[in-house]
């Protein structure tokens, strides 16, 4: 598969030295930096806000993939765009209809990319009405909120169905998977049609981040 994107999740980094951690994985060959923003309502944990994204923006040139796990994400779009987000992902469970269409337009008007995410229990068809306006769909392979969960292979048919739908519509669609991605699971996700992979501990907890990224990319590319 071509155009494989590896997006290490900052959630698994050492929070006492986030700038150094971002630079480390940039030098190791990461394509994107995945930033999980959790509000304590949509998901139980609270992580960080736009100020941390803004501060990190001064430390690395990586593409910032901001995943808003928050209620009413439309309230926070402008501040994350101003902070340096290159893509903003919202959850279909938290926003839909005209409000979602307006949020996507606001992101695109700022020259940035817009994406939607689905939880494991949400049918992939929920995003279909918006596909023509999206740059990416994130299929969660764990329940959002906590790192270190086991990979849920039973959600992969959603990625396959999404890839088929995008192909049918002749859309260039990035399909991202997030949760439990490792050398043992990335091949399954790539086989299902994903081409962007969020990996946390598999990269940040590795003694050889460059080797880990290279190996993940190689496995996904050779499916």
Q: Could you list the active site residues? A: 36, 178
Angle between helices 50-57 and 18-27 (to 10 degrees): 50
User: At CA 194, angle to CA 192 and CA 196, rounded to 5?
Assistant: 160
Identify the three-state secondary structure at position 25. Answer: helix
**DSSP line for 65-124:** EEEEESSSGGGTHHHHHHHT-SEEEEETTT--HHHHHHHHHHHHHTT-EEEEEE-TTS-G
Q: Quote the Cα angle for 157-100-105, to 5°.
A: 110
- What's the distance, CA 100 to chain centroid? 18
What's the CA gap between 35 and 86, in Å, rounded?
11
């Amino acid at each position: 598969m071509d155009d494989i994107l590896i997006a290490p999740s900052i959630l698994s980094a050492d929070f006492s030295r986030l700038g150094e951690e971002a630079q480390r994985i940039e030098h190791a060959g990461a394509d994107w930096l995945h930033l999980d923003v959790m509000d304590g309502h949509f998901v139980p944990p609270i992580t960080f806000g736009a100020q941390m994204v803004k501060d990190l923006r001064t430390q690395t040139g990586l593409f910032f993939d901001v995943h808003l796990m928050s209620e009413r994400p439309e309230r926070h779009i402008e501040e994350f765009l101003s902070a340096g987000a290159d893509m903003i992902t919202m959850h279909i469970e938290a926003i839909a209809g005209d409000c979602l269409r307006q949020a996507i337009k606001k992101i695109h008007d700022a020259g940035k990319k817009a994406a939607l995410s689905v939880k494991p229990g949400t049918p992939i068809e929920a995003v279909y009405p918006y596909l023509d306006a999206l740059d990416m769909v994130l299929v969660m392979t764990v329940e959002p909120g906590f790192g270190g969960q086991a990979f849920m292979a039973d959600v992969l048919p959603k990625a396959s169905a999404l890839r088929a739908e995008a192909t049918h519509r002749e859309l260039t669609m990035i399909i991202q998977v997030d949760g439990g991605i490792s050398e043992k699971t990335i091949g399954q996700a790539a086989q299902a049609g994903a081409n962007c992979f969020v990996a946390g501990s598999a990269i940040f907890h590795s003694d050889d981040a460059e080797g880990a990224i290279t190996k993940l990319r190689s496995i996904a590319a050779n499916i």
